[in-house]
Chains A and B, each alone.
Chain A
Amino acid sequence: MITIQANEVNKKYGDTIALRDLSLSVEKGELFGLIGPDGAGKTSLIRILTTLLLADKGTATVNGHDVVKSYRAIRRQVGYMPGRFSLYQDLSVEENLRFFATAFGTTIEANYDVIRDIYQQIEPFRRRRAGALSGGMKQKLALSCALVHRPEVLFLDEPTTGVDPVSRQEFWQILKGLQERGITILVSTPYMDEASLCDRIALIQDGQLLGIDTPAALRKAYPHPLWDLQSSRRYELLHFLRQQEFTLSVFPFGETLHLATRPDVPEHQIRESCYSQGFTDIQLTRIEATIEDCFMDRMAPTADPEIH
């Protein structure tokens, strides 16, 4: 059963195109990731699906309701956590949660089981003003507020941006837990490493879909031989490899380089050409593609996105 459906959605802001003919569908109970750099159109798509923005062209439904005509039905059934912290800083943790519970015509007590795992972690600070919470705690409070009315669909716009790695990991554990309760989750993130935690992902760049599948299938579909290179002179090596005839693409990846080559280029050929240029300390390993490799491969060649 399809819970979220977007059909050829287009959105423009003046001359800037945010979304072009974007279509996707999310199954009920799925944990679905929108992966893409800043400015890819993730927020626009989420805002169209949460009835906050009108698409210029195309249609979309959430839980079977049209986002334009039945926006009020959708607003009752979804939980939404915007990209930046959007709670009342001068209200305490408990007051924020109570306010949103009442706004949805329910109480904290009635739905305590949904938020218990998350809220328990910040409950010791329930009298503290939300503005005085740490980044990770703010995020948990915002999630509690988005969940307090037991939504069927949850939209999270870059929930882990600006959160420390430990809290990020914890947060994904929480999302898995919510998924087990049958909540359909659409989450956007610029962090490629979080993609593998989703059931299915959509890679988005410049408002266009680059690919949509399970993370494993996307990685498997990577079409080229891929190598990981380490060297103490990484920058020079990058420039050297860019000029080689066997190179399809090469880009920095953390501390190393990822090199995609033409098919059937033997390992010793790469090794020897590096040695001949004095890169004697290289370590060359054949690797499986990561989501980031898939993204770079599918990306428009001219674009230079900011990848985290």
Chain B
Amino acid sequence: MRPLRNIIQKEIWHILRDRRTLLILFGMPIAQILLFGFAITNEIKGADIAVLDRAQDIHSQAVTERLVASGYFTVQATVHSEPEIEQLFRTGQIKMGVIYPSDLGAHLESQQPVEVQFIADATDPNTATTLVNYGRAIVGDYQRELAPLAQPPRQIQTELRMLYNQELESVFLFVPGVMTIILMLVSAMMTSIALTREKELGTMEVLLVSPLRPPLIILGKVIPYVLLSMINTLLILGLSVWVFDMPIRGSFVLLFAESLLFVITALSLGILISTRTSSQQVAMMMSLMVLMLPTILLSGFIFPIESMPQPLQIISHIIPAKWFILIIKDIMLKGVGWAFIWQETLILTGMTTLFIGLSIRNFNIRLS
């Protein structure tokens, strides 16, 4: 075991002495989680609106209060004419304008269709649609509450229940994705770079002309990155639990074990890449092109797999990240146990075995 410890220690020295890489290794997960959690979000909170109130009665005031109370809107301005609303849009001060007609009260009380006008800024169509839908729902709710005794109108009411993530917190979606990307990046890219660095600097030559067995060299170089990745896993989980109140409903031990499995999958990919390249730059480009892009685009992290064209859906099956994201979502949000994720786990295990087998076959005991 002494030679193995020797290589591990050397690799840890390399990692600790390269301050810049170290900063990236630990700074990146924190930055990404915070970015995705706080900044890059598709929820709407406190969108600025302008109100043109031609009714000036208790109903128009009540609707405005409800808009604000929902948390989705903040009244930025109260205006007296439509051109003023347009002016506010132009200067970018508001996201939506609300116009109450002068006959609002009369229409509401007589249960006639109400025409509250919402004007939205459709340069960002998603936000515009969401804002208008929220506003319409709030007005509709108010109207129904006003007439509980009246003849209910013949219409189908839908009732929504959002399971596992009732608040529709987008951070719940991003945490599994970011965790997957970070683990992929640290494990696959860093190991492939660390291994090709030895080739590029010529130290692999010296290591090969020694009694050290190649598998031992690789194992020794890879183990520190396993440790690093697991520290990163804890860091990301800690941030998501304590900063974003994300639940871990299932077993933490199971989650940790699955993360370890995914780290080993990524490492074996990194080793495989390093057996096919001999310069750090090529290793990095290959990691980015072959691993990172599919992980981000095809794993279902950002774009839903169900809405992809058929060929891409098929390709997504061979992306390890896809299965890992399914596993963490299941454990963290649904709180399910082993019985529900054994298939995904088996697939990941199979992929890992394949990658390790290919790496062993491709690893050269000589220089070329």
A residues in contact (CB < 8 Å) with B: 47, 50-54, 71-72, 75-76, 78, 80, 82, 84-91, 95, 99-100, 102-105, 145-146
Please report the number of residue pairs spanning A and B whose Cβ atoms sit closer than 8 angstroms: 72
Give Cα A103–Cα B3 distance, bound, in whole angstroms.
6
25 contacts between A and B (CB under 8 A): A51-B209, A51-B366, A52-B205, A52-B366, A53-B366, A72-B211, A75-B208, A80-B206, A80-B209, A82-B206, A84-B202, A86-B201, A86-B202, A86-B203, A86-B206, A88-B10, A88-B201, A90-B18, A103-B7, A103-B210, A103-B212, A105-B2, A105-B3, A145-B206, A146-B206
Interface residues of B in 1-19 (CB under 8 A from A): 2-3, 6-7, 10, 13-14, 17-18
Interface residues of B in 344-368 (CB under 8 A from A): 365-368
Min CB gap B301→A, angstroms: 35
Nearest residue in A to B2 (C-beta to C-beta)?
A: A102
Interface residues of B in 163-204 (CB under 8 A from A): 201-203
Interface size on B, residues (CB 8 A): 24
Say yes or no: is B207 at the interface (Cβ < 8 Å to chain A): yes
- Known interface pairs A76-B211, A86-B202; 4 further A-B residue pairs with C-beta atoms within 8 A, sorted by A's residue number: A52-B209, A82-B205, A103-B211, A103-B212
Q: Could you tell me if A91 and B13 are in contact, using CB atoms closer than 8 angstroms?
A: yes
Q: Could you tell me if A75 and B13 are in contact, using CB atoms closer than 8 angstroms?
A: no
Contacts of B2 in A (CB 8 A): 102, 105
Nearest residue in B to A75 (C-beta to C-beta)?
A: B209
Contacts of B203 in A (CB 8 A): 86-88
From known contacts A75-B208, A90-B14, A91-B13, infer whether A103 and B6 are also in contact, taking CB-CB under 8 Å.
Answer: yes
Give Cα A103–Cα B207 distance, bound, in whole angstroms.
8
Q: Could you tell me if B18 and A86 are in contact, using CB atoms closer than 8 angstroms?
A: no
Nearest residue in A to B16 (C-beta to C-beta)?
A: A90
Contact residue among B10, B14, B209 (Cβ-Cβ distance under 8 Å from A50)? B209
Q: Could you tell me if A95 and B210 are in contact, using CB atoms closer than 8 angstroms?
A: no
Contact residue among A75, A84, A87 (Cβ-Cβ distance under 8 Å from B210)? A75
Contacts of B211 in A (CB 8 A): 72, 75-76, 103-105
Contacts of B367 in A (CB 8 A): 47, 52-53
